[in-house]
Amino acid sequence: MKTNWKSLIDFDQATVEEFAQGDLSGRAFYDRFRNTEVGGEARSLLRNRGVVYARRLARKSLKRIA
């Protein structure tokens, strides 16, 4: 499954940055996106990849998109 990082970053870049830096837990990351149009992306990312790998992907995505 492919994560749509652009939608997550466009929706709330500050949250993605906090998560990538390790200032936000996986649970808190998901909670900030819960009940939004991109909540499914965040949930799938954490369930399929795990928190450690998701942080790595977030750092890469922020460098490429932002």
Band (65; pLDDT cuts 50, 70, 90): confident
Exposure string of 53-65, with b = 16+ CB inside 10 Å and e = fewer, is ebbeebbebbeee
pTM to 2 decimals?
0.91
What are the domain boundaries of the chain?
A: 5-65
DSSP string, 1-52: ----HHHHHHH-HHHHHHHHHTSS-HHHHHHHHTTSTTHHHHHHHHHHH-HH
User: In this structure, are residues 20 and 58 in contact, taking their beta carbons and an 8 Å threshold?
Assistant: yes
Mean residue pLDDT across the chain? 94
- The pLDDT assigned to 3 comes to 86
